[in-house]
Structure 1
Amino acid sequence: MEKYSLNELRKMFLEFYESKGHLRLESFSLVPHNDKSLLLINSGMAPLKPYFIGEEVPPKKRVTTCQKCIRTPDIDNVGKTARHGTFFEMLGNFSFGDYFKKEAIAFAWEFLTEKIGLDKDKLYVSVYENDDEAAEIWKNDIGLTDNRITRLGKEDNFWEIGLGPCGPCSEIYVDRGEEYGCDRPTCGVGCDCDRYMEVWNLVFTQFDKDKEGNYNKLEHPNIDTGMGLERLAAYVQEVDNIFEVDTIRYILDYICEISGKKYGVNENDDVSIRVITDHIRSSVFMASDGILTSNEGRGYVLKRILRRAMRHGKLLGIEGHFMEGVAKKVIEISGEAYPALREKETTILKLINIEEEKFNETVNQGLSMIDELIANLKGDTLGGLDAFKLYDTYGFPLELTEEILEEKGLKVDKNGFEKAMQEQKDKARSARNNKEIVSYKGDLTNFIANLPSTEFSGYESLSDKGKVIEIIKDNEAIDILNEGEIGLVIFNRTPFYATSGGQVHDIGKIEDDKVNAKVKSVTKSGDKFVHEVEIISGSLEADKEYSMTVDKQNRLNTERNHSATHLLHKALKEVLGEHVNQAGSYVDSERLRFDFSHFEKVTNEELDEIEKRVNAEILNKDEVNYFETSIDEARKLGATALFGEKYGSNVRVVKMGDYSIELCGGCHVNNTNDISMFKILSESSVASGVRRIEAITGKCAIEESLEKYHELQTIKDKLRLNNNNIIEKVDELLNKNKSLLKELEAFRKEANKDVVSGIIDNAFDVNGTKCVFAKVDGLNVNDLRELSDKVKDKVENVIVFLVSVAGEKGFMIASASKEAVKDGFNCGKFIKDVAVSIGSGGGGRPDMAQAGIKDISKADMALENAKGFIKERL
């Protein structure tokens, strides 16, 4: 058997299945498309789910892929063993109602034994215990003896996720030899030792599980197979585990080089080396798919694994920033198979650099805090609130805190952490609803899965005729929708654009001589357009044809805003840099919102330049052209693909002159001049590394500009200006105001001298300590602090307590000289007692403390209570 490299094995697999009539698809994004049930793509079949459940028609009945995947359930074990990893590549071949078990088994056997050259005598298989058909194929067609075919139960050899398509599996194993075995007489396929390693899982999707738990036979069964590329490479290259595979070892060796460590010498070092090796692979691929670090969802996964890798770099003694260099090794070794790594290298490296910089800023403080918490710990469990503070203040994920404590034989109160986390979420997002996780097969899908697709004619015309093929109301299919009712209607043909790609749906009307109806919204479910329709008069019936008209002005305004996002995207790249990529958008008839990857605030000067460039292209009167081509040809033309979108083999390209070219299925103007005008309203931060621009076009932009012009004229009138020197006049007013404030401050300080003398004159003595207690209204906390400092400058061995009410707010401050503190007086404890006595709260240092007064009517009470407490304390 030849020792093929991982990159060679990937190529061999895909070329083999292409020779068997399969369409080769590029790996889908790690970000699931229209699938709320997954955080990240975790298998080869996950992005193909719409084809399996009938929501979409596959580009071909035979498909093959090498899908990048991330699985995080075992993240805490990554590094501790050489078995676990978060990132892997899944080889797969798929049949959508074409071939079945006989061909799938034959193809797999041929690839492993003839193409790769695995020893047939070392291959074993398992089948589902009731799947006689698969067992017979392995025995009669392939020639395996009974002792090499193991029947296993449903837990091991039956694939299903909730409801929908499911079926038995057949897994292929390789015997790695007795040296990997457990020496038990029962050792064989299914044993938990390392001897028999599963390399390929063949899933025979032949049933459809319904809500009652029945397994109904599919009319057209499917094939779904998955083989871990790294695992196959480990066996072919005759190495012990995935970290020894050539492409992964390339990264691992670089980590050893920069850390000065040798792999295989010290187990603790090996753990850290493996953690960094695995996590940097995941991080680079996630970043290439537009995922940015955040405190939620997949962004949190990225942040967590990046920071875990960075911490293990510190454990290895690596100084300074090192992640960029490791990331470059991933791009170097995998960039040919995944061109996006090279295309987005600048963005990937910048994201990793920024996160490492943030981590380094806080990690030392966080580690010091952990050491302090451990030193004061009573027992073996760190409190949940302390763990949450580490997370909230220093950005330490709970898992990182757990890992650090585990190394010291300690643990964390996870329930307490979760409670603190939930309390913060409830406060910050009280109005936000939790996202619902959808099932494998949604309710709407059940109604329309077998319906013909909807033909969209809205690119060419704003009116058309369409035949009703389904009406749904209250989750039931009906034949007629009557006056006053609202329902979901699917037509065979429609001019109405459905919400997708960031563009909001069309609105309009449906009518004939018997019905007048309003189209309120349009969504897509697979290749069906679902219209939300309100019947104004008459009734709408199934199997009848109706005239459909899109609201022209609404569509034109939406087109202006959508086309402007394309020009904006290009202008952002020109002004800010090629690292800018779209991270989301929203376009309706009123305005546009565009999210993009960028790592700092866009300056006013940059915004001006961006706006100028977009308007320059509008004035250029560039023709907007649309055409369909292959995805490969579109890339050659330089077309920009948008984040989160899934593209088939053929794509729609939107080209605006020589300026912008993007893949897009949305609606656009015919000429850039139709946009009329572009105006940026705001620029803000959405998340770490993501900025947002909101803008308007056309009539809205003109009206906004006129409004700002009239505001400016009003300001000029109020300032009595006859010329355009408004900026000079504003500067003059600001300088004058600044001068007056200085005079006022000087006057206030002079007046405070009299206040200081007055309150000192009213001081009283308690056991040899001067007590200056007073109520001085109209001062804020800073004023009170300054006043107390002046008292301490004039009086030795003194305790100062001041109360003030300024407007609707009340404040109090306690301050003590060095002598008083040395004698044991504590301002923090003192002011806390006073504050509690009037229903408030506060605290501070022994020499200085402050508190607010919730009920200002109790300000005098605070002063009297303080006088009573001080006599007790001294």
Structure 2
Amino acid sequence: MEKQKNRSRKATKIVAGEWEMLFEDDVEEFVGYNRLECEVKIAKYRKVTIQDKDLYHLVFNLTPFYPEGGGQIGDIGQISNSSENIQIIDTKKENNLIIHISEELPKNISNDFTARVDSEHRNSSSRNHSATHLLHHVLREELGNHVEQKGSLVSPDHLRFDFTHFSKLSEDEIRNIERKVNGMISKNISLEEYNNIPISEAKKMGAMMLFGEKYADAVRVIKFEDSLELCGGTHVSSTEEIDAFKIVSEGSISAGIRRIEAITGDKHKKHTKEMENTLNTIKSLIKNIDPIQGIKDLIQENKSLSKKLEKYKSKELVILQKDILLKREEISGIGVISEEVDLDSEGMKSLSFNLRKSENNLVMLLASESNNKVILTLMITDDLIQDKNMDASTLIKDLSTEIKGSGGGQSFFATAGGSDASGIDKSLNKLKEIFR
């Protein structure tokens, strides 16, 4: 346990060096709402080691990079000049500082750089963030005002939204939510953005605020028609840029909390294409232009075949039952059957339970092997349990050692699994030896 704790500490060990100041700059201005590129200087930096990997935290005098916050992941991109190009792999916020994370430190740290945000990464995140606002608005409209946001994730690939609701969403509810969100997208609603307004004014506007969240005196409000929320994230200039919205999953994450995951834009197009390919494959496999009816027909055919198979198995089991009773040996006054059979675990169980009802004074060990996996079942009739105090669960543990396995169960029936098929004969013979 102590070794595990030490490994865990080592795996999560973070060592942050002291900040190296290049020049004093009290305010790091964020200009990324309107610009994805600007000229910057590095004000300070530090080296950070995480799991023996060195990273560098860079702070600029101003930045177009959006730091992780409000559920939205941080921007990526690069800073460059005529002599070097440094990749920014993430952007975080710490003590009101926007920190740009890089795997290398610029050679000429004091030079001027052009900071460029990865536009595809940012625009995809913005689409998903705006779609999250539309989803929140539609959920309250469709399900009721009891819906409250309990968490979110906005990334370039997808969005995730956690909210309060008392039951699983029906397929009709999910389709209606999708339809209404897509309706707002197709209306091409323009973004209305209110920066640095008093929080009292935001409340008067009816802006959505997260319960328990602490807000500054001056806030930013994002508005798409009737959707109003306090938000510091990045957004599309109009809903048409979202392109399309699709819910890919809905489920419970805890009591009274549901989670929706959804996609937009290019991810939606890719998802739609994959679904079309899947549908075409199904049509081809079932050779029916109507895949739904084709699948229904297959299900019905499968049910019919399953019934026929069960009847066949029942007949075979009756024949096998007669045959296996011929293998019965009397050892020290006790009937013993110890045989390898060509049955699956359910067949072995059915055979054992049938003989338990019809026979007395019988101990039966069955063994079966498939793909180098061994199954043992042991049945003891009730009279032997009562009169001889026998216990199948105890016996099976001893027998299973021969197949390098383990097992357990009840006094009248127990099972074991193992990996050594060469031990089957040993376990079958061992049962006989126990009673000799």
Query: Which TM bucket (shorter chain)?
Result: 0.7 to 0.9
**Residue 205 of structure 2: aligned partner:** 637
**Residue 503 of structure 1: aligned partner:** 72
**Residue 286 of structure 2: aligned partner:** 719
Partner Cα separation in structure 2 for residue 432 and residue 578 of structure 1:
43
How far is the alpha carbon of 1:512 from its aligned partner?
3.6
Aligned AA (1:746): K
RMSD over aligned CA atoms reads 3.2
Aligned residues of 2:23 and 2:43 also touching (Cα < 8 A): no
Partner Cα separation in structure 1 for residue 297 and residue 114 of structure 2:
65
Secondary structure in 2 aligned to 1:634?
Answer: helix
Secondary structure in 1 aligned to 2:247?
Answer: strand
Which structure: greater strand fraction? 2
How far is the alpha carbon of 1:698 from its aligned partner?
0.6
How far is the alpha carbon of 1:676 from its aligned partner?
0.2
Partner Cα separation in structure 1 for residue 14 and residue 85 of structure 2:
35
Aligned residues of 1:511 and 1:548 also touching (Cα < 8 A): yes
Aligned residues of 1:813 and 1:848 also touching (Cα < 8 A): yes
Partner Cα separation in structure 1 for residue 282 and residue 95 of structure 2:
55
The 1:769–1:447 alpha-carbon spacing in structure 2 relative to 1, beyond 3 Å, is: farther
Verify: 1:840 aligned to 2:382, yes or no. no
**Residue 583 of structure 1: aligned partner:** 150
Secondary structure in 1 aligned to 2:35?
Answer: coil
The 1:585–1:643 alpha-carbon spacing in structure 2 relative to 1, beyond 3 Å, is: farther
How far is the alpha carbon of 1:785 from its aligned partner?
1.6
Aligned residues of 1:514 and 1:539 also touching (Cα < 8 A): no
Q: Say which structure, 1 or 2, has more relative contact order (CA 8 Å, 6+ apart).
A: 2
**Residue 27 of structure 2: aligned partner:** 453
Partner Cα separation in structure 2 for residue 443 and residue 631 of structure 1:
38
Partner Cα separation in structure 1 for residue 372 and residue 44 of structure 2:
63
Verify: 1:864 aligned to 2:432, yes or no. no
The 1:517–1:849 alpha-carbon spacing in structure 2 relative to 1, beyond 3 Å, is: closer
Secondary structure in 2 aligned to 1:846?
Answer: coil
Superposed, 1:409-808 pairs within 5 Å as 451-473=25-47, 487-533=56-102, 539-542=107-110, 544-598=111-165, 600-628=167-195, 629-642=197-210, 645-658=213-226, 660-722=227-289, 725-780=290-345, 782-808=346-372
Aligned AA (2:31): S
Q: Give the alignment's TM-score, normalised by structure 1.
A: 0.45
Partner Cα separation in structure 1 for residue 84 and residue 14 of structure 2:
35
The 1:617–1:761 alpha-carbon spacing in structure 2 relative to 1, beyond 3 Å, is: same
Secondary structure in 1 aligned to 2:145?
Answer: coil
Partner Cα separation in structure 2 for residue 529 and residue 566 of structure 1:
24
Secondary structure in 2 aligned to 1:851?
Answer: strand
Partner Cα separation in structure 1 for residue 342 and residue 306 of structure 2:
20
After superposition, give the CA deviation of every residue in 1:52-109 in whole Å (9 maximum; x if it has no partner). xxxxxxxxxxxxxxxxxxxxxxxxxxxxxxxxxxxxxxxxxxxxxxxxxxxxxxxxxx
**Residue 822 of structure 1: aligned partner:** 386
Aligned residues of 1:778 and 1:807 also touching (Cα < 8 A): no
How far is the alpha carbon of 1:567 from its aligned partner?
1.5
Aligned residues of 2:48 and 2:55 also touching (Cα < 8 A): no
The 1:448–1:813 alpha-carbon spacing in structure 2 relative to 1, beyond 3 Å, is: farther
Partner Cα separation in structure 2 for residue 450 and residue 825 of structure 1:
85
Aligned residues of 1:445 and 1:525 also touching (Cα < 8 A): no
Partner Cα separation in structure 2 for residue 455 and residue 586 of structure 1:
25
Partner Cα separation in structure 2 for residue 861 and residue 679 of structure 1:
59
Aligned AA (2:404): G
The 1:469–1:449 alpha-carbon spacing in structure 2 relative to 1, beyond 3 Å, is: closer
Partner Cα separation in structure 2 for residue 438 and residue 539 of structure 1:
24
Aligned AA (1:529): I
After superposition, give the CA deviation of every residue in 1:382-413 in whole Å (9 maximum; x if it has no partner). xxxxxxxxxxxxxxxxxxxxxxxxxxxxxxxx
Superposed, 1:55-70 pairs within 5 Å as none
Superposed, 1:146-225 pairs within 5 Å as none
How far is the alpha carbon of 1:600 from its aligned partner?
4.6
Superposed, 1:237-316 pairs within 5 Å as none
Question: Where does structure 2 lack aligned partners over 5 or more consecutive residues?
Answer: none
Equivalences, count? 429
Secondary structure in 2 aligned to 1:815?
Answer: strand
Aligned residues of 1:776 and 1:803 also touching (Cα < 8 A): yes
Aligned residues of 1:622 and 1:673 also touching (Cα < 8 A): yes
How far is the alpha carbon of 1:434 from its aligned partner?
9.1
The 1:703–1:493 alpha-carbon spacing in structure 2 relative to 1, beyond 3 Å, is: same
The 1:856–1:613 alpha-carbon spacing in structure 2 relative to 1, beyond 3 Å, is: farther
Percent identity, aligned pairs only, is 33
Partner Cα separation in structure 2 for residue 612 and residue 778 of structure 1:
52
After superposition, give the CA deviation of every residue in 1:337-366 in whole Å (9 maximum; x if it has no partner). xxxxxxxxxxxxxxxxxxxxxxxxxxxxxx
Secondary structure in 1 aligned to 2:248?
Answer: strand
How far is the alpha carbon of 1:643 from its aligned partner?
6.5
The 1:486–1:787 alpha-carbon spacing in structure 2 relative to 1, beyond 3 Å, is: closer
Partner Cα separation in structure 2 for residue 689 and residue 437 of structure 1:
36
Question: Where does structure 1 lack aligned partners over 5 or more consecutive residues?
Answer: 1-418, 476-484
Aligned residues of 1:462 and 1:550 also touching (Cα < 8 A): yes
Secondary structure in 1 aligned to 2:349?
Answer: helix
